[in-house]
C-alpha cells in the first residue's frame, strides 16, 4: 500500500500548469496571471474632483465664513465624463461633479455642502486649502507601473484594477476543464423514481461541485451503466474536450468494476491501494494521444470526496498555476472519542463546536455516511500509527471552509 503522500506525488507527477491563453477580462476571474500587467496610463489619468461641488481658486475664499459668505459667478457646469472648455479666473467658479476633470485655472474644489448650491452665482460659506478635494493624475499608479505580477490569482479586487488599466484581454493560465464520469448500473439521475436496488447518482454532482470550488470548469458526463464498451467510448469522447477526467466507481475488487478493467488494459493507468480510510482503492494515469490525466475515484460517496480532497484538488490547483496545493492543517481539540485503523491515515468528518474544538459528525465514519459528510466542516486527520483518539485530545484538522 502506498502512503497518501506518496500516492499524491505520483498523481501530480506528469500533471503540469495549463499553457497560458488570452481570455477576455469577463472570463479571467479565478485564473492565475501568466504575465506581469503594467498600466499603460497613470491612475487617475487626469486631475479630477473627489467631491460634488465647485472648482475654485482657493485664494478667492480665504475670508469666507458662514456669517460672511463669498459670492462667486458660476461660469460652467461639468459632470463626470465631460471636460469644461472654460477657464476659472478670480471671482468665478465651475460647478463640478465627482470624477469630472479639473478645469483650467481652478486649484481646489469646495464641496457643495459648504455652499448654497447656486447655479448662476454661488455663496461659499468656508475657505479651502489649495489642492483640496482634487485627485491628482498618477497619485495612485504612474504610467508603466506594474499593477499585478505574474502568478497573481485574479479575484474580484484584481479584476477591478485590470479593468481600470484597460486590460480587456488577460494572459492567464485557464481554469482546467474537468469531465466527471460516474459509473454504476445502480445509478439514477436525481429526481427520477428509484426502483428497488437503485440509488441516485450523487457522486457526479459532488465531484463537479467540488471541482468548481477548487477553481475548475467542471461538468457531468453520465451516469453510465457498468459496460466496458460504453465506458471506453465515453472516456474517448471526453479526451478532446477536457484537461482532466475524473471517474467515480468501479475501481475496487468487484466483478463489475468496469473502470479498473478497461483502463488497466490501456497500460497508461495504474490502480493501487492507498493507506487511507476511507478511499483505499485508487487509480490514475493518462489517456489518449494527448495524454489527458485521468483520476479514478472510488464509488462510495465519502471515499470519493476524501479522495478528491487529497488528490484531485491539488491536481486542479497545480494545473491552475497556484503555489499552495494543500489546504493548511491546524490543531483542534476533539470533542469525542474516535477509533482509527492501524496503518491507515483516517480522515474523519467533523464540525466546529467552537473555534479550536471539533466534533465528529454523522452516524459513524463509514464511507457511505452522507449525512455526516453533509454536516462536516472539517476533516480530523488521524495518523497511520494511531488507533484511537480520546475526547479532549488535540488532533490535526483540515478546515474545509477555507478556500
Ligand atoms: P463501486 O466503487 O462502484 O463498487 O461503488 C461502491 C459503492 O458506492 C456502491 O455502494 C455504489 O452503489 C456506490 N456508488 C457508486 N457510484 C456512486 C455514485 N455516483 N453516487 C452514489 N453512490 C455511488
Ligand atoms: Mg460500481
Ligand 1 binding pocket includes 123 (Cβ within 6 Å)? no
Say whether pLDDT at 341 is over 90: yes
Ligand 1 binding pocket includes 215 (Cβ within 6 Å)? no
Ligand in nearest proximity to the CA of 189:
1
Q: 186 C-alpha to center of ligand 2: Å?
A: 8
The pLDDT, as a whole number, for residue 402 is 84
Residue 160: band (very low, low, confident or very high) from pLDDT cuts 50, 70, 90: very high
Atom of ligand 1 nearest to the CA of 254: 4
CB atoms within 10 A of CB 293: 25
CA distance 271 to 114: 76
**387 and 357, same domain (yes or no):** yes
CB-based neighbours (< 5 A) of ligand 2, an ion: 184, 249-250, 299
**254 and 381, same domain (yes or no):** no
pLDDT digits (tens, 9 = 90+) for 182-212: 999 999 999 999 999 999 999 999 999 999 9
**239 and 298, same domain (yes or no):** yes
**113 and 181, same domain (yes or no):** no
Residue 103: band (very low, low, confident or very high) from pLDDT cuts 50, 70, 90: very high
**90 and 207, same domain (yes or no):** no
Q: 116 C-alpha to center of ligand 1: Å?
A: 74
Q: 303 C-alpha to center of ligand 1: Å?
A: 10
Say whether pLDDT at 144 is over 80: yes
CATH code (residue 368) = 2.40.340.10
Choose between 367 and 136: higher pLDDT.
136
Ligand in nearest proximity to the CA of 187:
1
Cell triple for 359: 466534533
The pLDDT, as a whole number, for residue 331 is 98
CATH code (residue 152) = 3.90.105.10
Ligand 1 binding pocket includes 42 (Cβ within 6 Å)? no
Ligand 1 binding pocket includes 107 (Cβ within 6 Å)? no
Q: Which residues, in sequence order, are CB contacts of 207 under 8 Å at separation 6+? A: 180, 182, 218, 246, 248, 297, 304, 308, 312
**380 and 348, same domain (yes or no):** yes
pLDDT digits (tens, 9 = 90+) for 54-71: 999 999 999 999 999 999
Residue 371: band (very low, low, confident or very high) from pLDDT cuts 50, 70, 90: confident
Q: How many domains does the chain divide into?
A: 4
Cβ distance 296 to 247 under 8 Å?
A: yes
Q: Is 285 exposed, middle or buried (0-12, 13-18, 19+ CB in 10 A)?
A: buried
**201 and 145, same domain (yes or no):** no
Ligand 1 binding pocket includes 304 (Cβ within 6 Å)? no
Average pLDDT in the chain: 97
The pLDDT, as a whole number, for residue 365 is 80
Cβ distance 118 to 62 under 8 Å?
A: no
The pLDDT, as a whole number, for residue 358 is 98
* Last residue of one domain, picked from the residues 289, 320, 351: 320
Say whether pLDDT at 403 is over 80: no
Q: 259 C-alpha to center of ligand 2: Å?
A: 9
Shortest-distance Cα residue to atom 16 of ligand 1: 299
Ligand in nearest proximity to the CA of 301:
1
Ligand 1 binding pocket includes 250 (Cβ within 6 Å)? yes
Domain around 386: 329-399
* Last residue of one domain, picked from the residues 278, 302, 320: 320
Ligand in nearest proximity to the CA of 282:
1
Q: 188 C-alpha to center of ligand 1: Å?
A: 11
CA distance 263 to 284: 9
**109 and 159, same domain (yes or no):** no
The pLDDT, as a whole number, for residue 364 is 81
pLDDT digits (tens, 9 = 90+) for 220-266: 998 999 999 999 999 999 999 999 999 999 998 877 899 999 999 99
* Last residue of one domain, picked from the residues 125, 149, 173: 173
Ligand 1 binding pocket includes 310 (Cβ within 6 Å)? no
Cβ distance 131 to 107 under 8 Å?
A: yes
CATH code (residue 122) = 2.170.190.11
**261 and 316, same domain (yes or no):** yes
**113 and 197, same domain (yes or no):** no
Task: Sort residue 177 into left (φ over 0), alpha (ψ -120 to 50) or beta.
Answer: beta
CA distance 348 to 383: 11
**275 and 316, same domain (yes or no):** yes
**361 and 236, same domain (yes or no):** no
Shortest-distance Cα residue to atom 7 of ligand 1: 300
Amino acid at each position: 500500500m502506498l502512503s497518501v503522500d506518496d500516492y499524491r506525488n505520483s498523481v501530480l507527477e506528469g500533471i503540469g500548469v495549463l499553457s497560458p491563453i488570452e481570455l477576455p477580462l469577463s472570463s479571467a476571474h479565478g485564473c492565475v496571471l501568466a504575465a506581469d500587467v503594467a498600466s499603460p496610463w497613470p491612475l487617475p489619468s487626469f486631475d479630477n474632483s473627489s467631491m460634488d461641488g465647485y472648482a475654485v481658486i482657493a485664494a478667492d475664499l480665504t475670508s469666507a465664513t458662514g456669517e460672511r459668505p463669498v459670492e462667486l459667478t458660476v461660469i460652467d457646469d461639468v459632470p463626470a465624463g465631460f471636460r469644461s472648455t472654460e477657464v476659472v479666473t478670480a471671482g468665478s467658479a465651475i460647478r463640478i461633479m465627482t470624477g469630472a476633470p479639473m478645469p483650467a485655472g481652478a486649484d481646489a474644489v469646495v464641496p457643495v455642502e459648504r455652499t448654497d448650491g447656486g447655479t448662476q452665482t454661488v455663496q461659499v460659506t468656508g475657505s479651502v486649502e489649495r489642492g483640496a478635494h482634487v485627485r491628482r493624475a498618477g497619485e495612485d499608479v504612474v504610467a508603466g507601473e506594474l499593477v499585478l505580477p505574474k502568478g497573481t490569482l485574479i479575484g474580484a479586487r484584481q479584476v477591478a484594477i485590470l479593468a481600470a488599466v484597460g486590460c480587456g484581454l488577460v494572459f492567464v493560465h485557464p481554469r482546467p476543464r474537468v469531465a466527471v464520469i460516474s459509473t454504476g448500473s445502480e445509478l439514477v439521475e436525481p429526481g427520477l423514481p428509484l426502483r428497488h436496488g437503485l440509488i441516485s447518482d450523487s457522486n457526479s454532482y459532488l465531484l463537479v461541485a467540488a471541482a468548481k470550488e477548487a477553481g475548475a470548469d467542471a461538468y457531468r458526463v453520465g451516469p453510465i451503466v457498468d459496460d466496458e464498451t460504453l465506458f471506453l467510448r465515453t472516456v474517448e469522447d471526453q479526451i478532446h474536450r477536457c484537461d482532466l477526467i475524473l471517474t467515480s466507481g468501479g475501481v475496487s475488487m468487484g466483478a463489475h468494476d468496469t473502470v479498473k478493467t478497461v483502463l488497466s488494459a490501456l497500460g497508461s493507468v495504474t490502480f493501487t491501494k492507498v493507506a487511507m480510510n476511507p478511499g483505499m482503492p485508487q487509480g490514475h494515469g493518462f489517456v489518449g494521444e494527448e495524454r489527458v490525466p485521468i483520476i479514478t475515484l472510488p464509488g462510495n460517496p465519502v471515499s470519493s470526496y476524501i479522495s478528491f480532497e487529497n488528490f484531485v484538488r491539488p491536481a486542479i490547483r497545480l494545473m491552475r498555476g497556484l503555489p499552495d496545493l494543500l489546504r493548511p492543517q491546524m490543531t483542534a481539540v476533539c470533542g469525542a472519542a474516535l477509533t482509527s485503523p492501524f496503518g491507515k491515515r483516517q480522515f474523519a468528518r467533523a464540525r466546529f463546536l467552537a473555534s479550536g474544538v471539533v466534533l465528529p459528525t454523522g452516524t459513524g465514519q463509514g464511507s457511505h455516511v452522507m449525512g455526516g459528510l453533509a454536516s462536516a466542516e472539517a476533516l480530523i486527520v488521524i495518523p497511520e500509527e494511531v488507533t484511537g483518539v480520546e475526547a479532549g485530545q488535540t488532533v490535526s484538522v483540515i478546515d474545509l471552509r477555507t478556500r
